[in-house]
């Protein structure tokens, strides 16, 4: 798999990590050193040799751990005891450093979810201490905030951002109808499909899950992510991202259009792009979606803003998402815009929203905050969010006048003289071509297929 990533264009597109999931170790730690031991049959040369091979391909190696007393698969984890009184954090961080492992997926099985915020963040400290003295830092992928949802507790997203490079707070996405694990049987009971799970993640609709006692429980409120987006977005920025789970593109569970939806929304959210698929058998359409340069550019935008859903139809089937991105022009950002059609039946739908209304509601203040976080020496054009928003509100407007009366204090959205206009070039990111230009006062109209998206980036004319 690593050879395919390195040789088939994925590395060039930006994919760098090869992540080993659960069940990689022996069932017991070394009885003398208490260190983790790689499974002898699967990794006879050990993890360090594997890391060396992966590094020789210019890739990075990740491995799996758990903040509980054992992993979800029942293997050794990072707590010594059920009560969390002692742990292996420092020892395991040292082991991972000795192995030259570059990332750790830190799960949350077999720990009280309500104790996770007290116990789990210390792993970040242990990893950081090991990275002192060399340039290689360990990427920490936190799953434990997600388990708090099952305890009906909202995670402290600020703490998650301070303790983790990526952090989950929603359920898993499965890319196949195969019943492979304890989660998949729940999907069978309630008839969920990969497309439902992707749109559920986007919309946060009520999640109904059958428990082992066959009670039915609701795990998330309606429109969870959209409703909580402002809180989540405040914790998202360069080096700390919300993780909506893996990309299941190429696993036969999504159509081409649906795969474009997942890729587009994950990129508009600045989400980590972890592929969960078999690259040896992936089709060309899926591969092109995963390597789409325009979408990845939006995903990797240096300001790392979580794009917001800012408009939708009355039935919630048509939605518009906006993310401010580079380049900066005249003190304002450019914008990536996604139109999502969640309808599964029918033909293309013309979606139309006023461009100004979308832009002035976008998270420009968050972009300015993130710019200060990463650009302490103020290189590049600075963003003053208040001035930018005032410019967007006032441009291309002039007072309403009456022929026989004084000027009204109301504004009239009428095209002003050319010198006062703001005009944007439109780049279709999926088709990878320029498709025209649009004035700030205009309605952005796009034809969107069922279960599909249109994605554009608009950049102000200079």
Six-digit token string for 353 = 């929203």
Q: Which residue among the candidates 107, 243, 245, 301 is catalytic per the annotation?
A: 107
Helices (H) and strands (E) in the chain, counts: 17, 18
What backbone phi and psi angles, to 5 degrees, belong to 391? -65, -45
Give the dihedral sign, CA 142/225/448/324.
negative
315 is catalytic: no
Neighbours of 384 (CB within 10 A): 13
**For the CA atoms of the chain, what is the radius of gyration?**
24
State the DSSP string of 189-209.
Answer: HHT--HHHHHHHHHH-PPPEE
Largest CA distance in the chain: 95
Q: Please choose, from the candidates 309, 313, 321, the residue with its C-alpha nearest in 3D space to the C-alpha of residue 350.
A: 313
Give yes or no for a contact between 286 and 314, defined as CB atoms under 8 angstroms apart.
no
| Residue 447 token pair | 């034809």
Three-class SS state of 349: strand
| Per-position DSSP letters for 350-372, written without gaps between them | EEEEEHHHHHHTS-HHHHHHHHH
- The CB density around residue 456, as the number of other CB atoms within 10 Å, is 24
List Cβ<8 Å contacts ≥24 apart for 279-287: 279/1, 279/4, 279/5, 279/8, 279/10, 279/250, 280/1, 280/4, 281/250, 282/250, 283/250, 285/256, 285/259, 286/249, 286/250, 286/256, 286/259, 287/8, 287/9, 287/250
Residues 6+ apart with CB under 8 A from 348: 447, 448, 449, 450
Q: Which of 8, 52, 97, 172 is catalytic?
A: 172
Name residue, tokens 């499965």.
Answer: 174
Q: Write down the residue that tokens 């989950």 correspond to.
A: 168
CA 423 to chain centre: 30
Cα 42 to Cα 122: distance, rounded to the nearest angstrom: 30
- Cβ neighbors of 366 (< 8 A, separation 6 or more) are 233, 234, 236, 237, 305, 306
172 is catalytic: yes
Residues designated catalytic: 107, 172
């Amino acid at each position: 798999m690593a050879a395919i990533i390195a040789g088939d264009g994925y590395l060039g597109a930006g994919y760098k990590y090869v992540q080993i999931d659960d069940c990689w170790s022996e069932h017991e730690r070394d009885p003398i050193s208490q260190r983790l031991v790689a499974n002898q049959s699967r990794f006879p040369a050990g993890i360090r040799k594997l890391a060396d091979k992966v590094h020789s391909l210019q890739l990075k190696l990740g491995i799996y751990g758990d903040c509980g007393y054992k992993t979800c698969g029942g293997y050794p984890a990072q707590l010594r005891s059920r009560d969390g009184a002692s742990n292996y954090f420092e020892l395991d961080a040292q082991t991972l450093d000795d192995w030259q492992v570059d990332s750790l997926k830190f799960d949350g099985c077999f720990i009280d979810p309500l104790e996770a915020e007290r116990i789990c963040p210390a792993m970040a400290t242990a990893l950081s201490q090991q990275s002192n003295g060399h340039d290689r830092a360990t990427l920490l992928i936190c799953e434990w905030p997600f388990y708090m949802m099952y305890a009906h507790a909202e995670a402290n997203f600020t703490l998650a951002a301070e303790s983790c490079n990526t952090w989950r707070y929603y359920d898993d996405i499965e890319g196949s109808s195969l019943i492979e694990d304890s989660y998949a049987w729940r999907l069978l009971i309630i008839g969920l499909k990969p497309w439902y799970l992707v749109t559920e993640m986007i919309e946060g609709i009520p999640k109904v899950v059958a428990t082992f006692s066959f009670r039915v429980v609701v795990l998330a409120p309606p429109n969870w992510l959209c409703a909580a987006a402002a809180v989540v977005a405040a914790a998202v920025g360069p080096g700390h991202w919300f993780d909506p789970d893996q990309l299941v593109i190429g696993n036969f569970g999504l159509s081409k259009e649906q795969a474009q939806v997942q890729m587009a929304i994950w990129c508009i959210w600045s989400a980590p792009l972890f592929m969960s698929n078999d690259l040896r058998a992936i089709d060309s359409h899926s591969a092109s979606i995963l390597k789409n340069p325009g979408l990845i550019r939006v995903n990797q935008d240096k300001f790392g803003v979580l794009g917001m859903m800012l408009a939708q139809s009355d039935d919630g089937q048509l939605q518009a998402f906006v993310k401010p991105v580079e380049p900066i022009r005249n003190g304002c950002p450019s914008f990536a815009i996604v139109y999502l059609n969640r309808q599964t039946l029918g033909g293309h739908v013309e979606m139309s929203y006023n461009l100004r209304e979308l832009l002035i509601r976008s998270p420009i203040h968050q972009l300015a905050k993130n710019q200060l976080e990463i650009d302490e020496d103020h290189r590049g054009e600075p963003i003053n969010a208040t001035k930018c928003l005032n410019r967007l509100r006032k441009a291309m407007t002039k007072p309403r006048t009456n022929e026989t009366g004084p000027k009204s204090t109301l504004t009239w959205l009428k095209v002003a003289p050319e010198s006062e206009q703001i005009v944007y070039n439109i780049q279709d990111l999926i088709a990878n071509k320029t498709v025209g230009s649009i004035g700030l006062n205009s309605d952005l109209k796009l034809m969107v297929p069922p279960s599909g998206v249109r994605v554009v980036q608009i950049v102000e004319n200079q």
